Amino acid sequence: MAHSVMWNRFWNGRGGRGNNIALDLHLEHLNNYLKSFLKGLGPNLNESSATRISKSIGILKEVMDKTDQELANTRPSGLHHAPQDENDIKTLVAVFRDSELFRHHPQREFKSFPGFSKNLLVNLKYSKLCHWMREKLKDWREVPV
């Protein structure tokens, strides 16, 4: 029992020093895998199939991990991930179109700013903008992706 208390507190799934996680967290990860498998059953979910999957969840996870390793299919670690902005941008474009944000409406005006020009680009110097954009593109080429 002393050995179990001393050594059965952490789990290391990737190997190496400093990659240990608590056994409780590992159990939560396995529960998430179980839930994803159970959702995949859909209407075929019953007690016997859920029991069968829950008893084999460790083996299923190993098979999935080994298959990913053989196919060189890497997933982000969770520490660094690339944002997926496409859906957010499409939502914003739809809202802008529905509200006709860029269309002129006589009732829509700047009452609080009477001298404010409706053309926001009136003072924009295009040559300076082009120069600024080219400088930024040069800077951004040096940034690692």
Q: What is the mean pLDDT of residues 32-59?
A: 90
Beta strand 20-22 pairing with 10-12? antiparallel
DSSP conformation letters of 70-136 = HTT-----SSS-----HHHHHHHHHHHHHHTTTS--TT---SS-TT--S-TTTT--HHHHHHHHHHH
Residue for token pair 């006589």: 106
Sign of the CA dihedral with 25 first, then 30, 32, and 35 last = negative
> Which tokens sit at 84?
């997926």
- CA-to-CA separations, 98 to 14, 92, 94, 95, 103, in angstroms, rounded: 49, 10, 6, 5, 11
pLDDT of residue 76: 66
pLDDT of residue 100: 82
Distance CA 142, CA 136 (A): 10
pLDDT tens digits for 56-92? 988 888 888 888 888 777 776 667 667 778 888 898 8
pLDDT tens digits for 90-139? 988 888 888 887 787 777 766 777 777 777 788 888 899 999 999 999 88
Parse the chain into domains and list their residue ranges: 2-70
> Which tokens sit at 45?
């979910």
